[in-house]
Structure 1
Amino acid sequence: MQQENFTVWSFFFLEGFSRYPRLEVVLFIFSLMMYLITLLGNSTLILIIVLDSRLQKPMYFFLGNLAFMDICYTSASIPTLLVNLLSSQKTIFLAGCAIQMYLSLAMGSTECVLLAVMAYDRYVAICNPLRYPIIMSRQVCVQMASVSWMTGCLDGPPGKQFCSEDTLCGNLIDHFTCEILAVLKLACTSSLLMDVIMMVVSILLLPIPMLFICISYVFILSTILRISSAEGRNKAFSTCGAHLTVVILYYGAALSMYLKPSSSNSQEIDKIISLLYGVLTPMLNPIIYSLRNKEVKDAMTKLLL
């Protein structure tokens, strides 16, 4: 059998938004502001969760994990985007591209599982309030968070390996980061490894956690509607509202990205969606939880004063 000739690329060109040079400065300012707000908001959220004794609860423990994950996720791609928006040579070395692919898959997978874990936490808190301290003990919470992180870390290495293999027939990535779908378009041949990765991402790590979240909220809604007092119902809705808003934002963008029909044409739309769930959602998460949660607002006020 004749062996195909593959090229080992030492670096890649990132197309980014170079087709719209006038837009790049605006995008730089916009992305920089969102990145700084993301770092400040999530860092502040982690700080008040650690320092305030009133927030030593399972819900805030998972929220702190989510905030830390958002910092890692945005820091993997946004600095490269900011540099390339102002640079004429939009390049990234092979090692940097491999790290970006790893962190993108790992952090994205972690968030999917973590949001499902947070939905379960809300389900137990509302549907089984008397048993909540026993079911959601400190040890159980640490184990559930660990499983979320381990799932992401185990999902990331295949993408990194693919970027390092001699299976790419080009080094121009039509994206602002080494996003998995954009890199896949450079593949010379069909790869069983990448088919498995996309199956895991598109089936196991998106629809299944989303289905688990939906089932949890069906039970939650059913329980809330049976609460006799209006004050109790409002409190329960407020407790779940922030998490549900974050779920809709994240999964809405992710599902439209990874589960859209292959005939969908514009790569530019993919870039905008990537910005949405890669930058905007992590920035909004601490804001959403702060605005809809009295305990977080009180803790933040106490920290600032």
Structure 2
Amino acid sequence: MDQLNHTWTQSFLLAGFPAPSTLRPLAFSGTLCIYLLTLAGNLFIIVLVQADAGLSTPMYFFISVLSFLELWYVSTTAPTLLRTWLRGRSPIPAAVCFTQLYVFHSLGMTECYLLGVMALDRYLAVCRPLHYHALMSRKERLWLAGATWVAGFSAALAPASLTASLPLCFREVAHYFCDLAPLMRLACVDTGWNARVHGTVIGVATGCNFEFILGLYGGILRAILKLPSAGSRAKAFSTCSSHVTVVALFFGSAFMVYVGPPGSRSKGTDMRIALVYALLTPFLNPIIYTLRNKEVKEAVRRVTQRIRAMLKGP
């Protein structure tokens, strides 16, 4: 218990990526560029959806909610990564470390639930088009979006609190942010029971949502194949392709890290995979949802024309 108290009053050391000092400025600049572009891209989507009435549909509402989530998600770890690029092994207070652990996993599990809700939205749009707007009314959208946040932040309580209660004998965290497996490696006791609890909680959030998404897309695929023309089938597929790409990126990388016992992969592998879902996916999401999207391009044109008209005056 004395060792645990000693750990809490001091700080952990985040090891970060091993890299020569000559490459750190370049890595810092690249990470900072990606981080700023991620913030700008997701803010762009939020502002555009709010500014253009043509995007006031359930699909774009949930995309804007996802972009809002990604702003917080990437900001939970990117500043820490930037600091480790600059300073190498970087200290982090224990309370901040465990807060980062909880917030990061809360937002991650919220995204799992939100991606499931977005799949439900696409299912209703394709399979129940006549009742779609009634089933996805403003009230229902707000309720579903709120429920994803409550579910995500509730589910993360058990893994975070159990990890924070472990007696820790070491200070150096072999990662660039505070995550479950690296912190559990610091424990003075066997963490098998904790690992089973973590696996159960995270497995329900990720596995069940992933199965739910697969089931919905099975129904979507059957409905699309029944459409009479190739054009209508192509249009239906295009409305789902962006979401499918995001699901593949997020769940694929998350499963690689969190499926299996902690420590089953090398430390460097966990950090490299974490870059995908913690930094790269939030960066790519705005691009995926706007690239070759005619509705978004039309919305940008309309908003630009309004701004020009306002600048010109009467």
Q: 1:195 to 1:188 in 2, by over 3 A?
A: farther
Q: What number of residue pairs does the alignment pair up?
A: 302
Counterpart residue number, 1:130: 130
**Alignment of structure 1 residues 36-51 onto 2, 5 Å:** 36-51=36-51
User: What is the one-letter code of the residue matched to 1:13?
Assistant: L
Q: 1:259 to 1:164 in 2, by over 3 A?
A: closer
Query: 2:173 touches 2:183 (CA, 8 Å); kept in 1?
Result: yes
Bigger shift: residues 150-159 or 224-233: 150-159
Does 2:161 correspond to 1:144? no
Counterpart residue number, 1:110: 110
Counterpart residue number, 2:198: 197
Instruction: State the secondary structure of the residue aligned to 1:13.
Output: strand
Counterpart residue number, 2:228: 228
Instruction: State the secondary structure of the residue aligned to 2:13.
Output: strand
- Residue identity (%): 38
Please report how far the alpha carbon of residue 134 of structure 1 lies from its aligned counterpart in structure 2 after TM superposition: 1.4
Q: 1:216 to 1:92 in 2, by over 3 A?
A: same
TM superposition score normalised by structure 1: 0.93
CA distance in 1, matches of 2:127, 2:113: 21
Coordinate RMSD, CA, aligned:
2.0
Please report how far the alpha carbon of residue 4 of structure 1 lies from its aligned counterpart in structure 2 after TM superposition: 8.4
Does 2:253 correspond to 1:253? yes
The C-alpha deviation readout for 1:86-138, integer Å capped at 9, x for no partner, is 11451111121122101111000000000000001000000010011111111
Counterpart residue number, 2:207: 207
Which residues of structure 2 form unaligned runs of 5+?
306-314
User: What is the one-letter code of the residue matched to 1:8?
Assistant: H
Instruction: State the secondary structure of the residue aligned to 1:140.
Output: helix
Instruction: State the secondary structure of the residue aligned to 1:12.
Output: strand
Does 2:44 correspond to 1:26? no
CA distance in 2, matches of 1:260, 1:196: 12
**Alignment of structure 1 residues 1-305 onto 2, 5 Å:** 6-9=4-7, 10-18=10-18, 20-162=20-162, 164-165=164-165, 167-190=167-190, 192=193, 195-201=196-202, 203-260=203-260, 264-304=264-304
Query: 1:46 touches 1:68 (CA, 8 Å); kept in 2?
Result: yes
CA distance in 2, matches of 1:163, 1:207: 22
Which residues of structure 1 form unaligned runs of 5+?
none
Query: 2:174 touches 2:267 (CA, 8 Å); kept in 1?
Result: yes
Please report how far the alpha carbon of residue 184 of structure 1 lies from its aligned counterpart in structure 2 after TM superposition: 1.4
User: What is the one-letter code of the residue matched to 1:229?
Assistant: S
Please report how far the alpha carbon of residue 6 of structure 1 lies from its aligned counterpart in structure 2 after TM superposition: 3.7
Bigger shift: residues 159-168 or 69-78: 159-168
Q: 1:171 to 1:159 in 2, by over 3 A?
A: farther
Please report how far the alpha carbon of residue 165 of structure 1 lies from its aligned counterpart in structure 2 after TM superposition: 3.1
Please report how far the alpha carbon of residue 79 of structure 1 lies from its aligned counterpart in structure 2 after TM superposition: 0.7
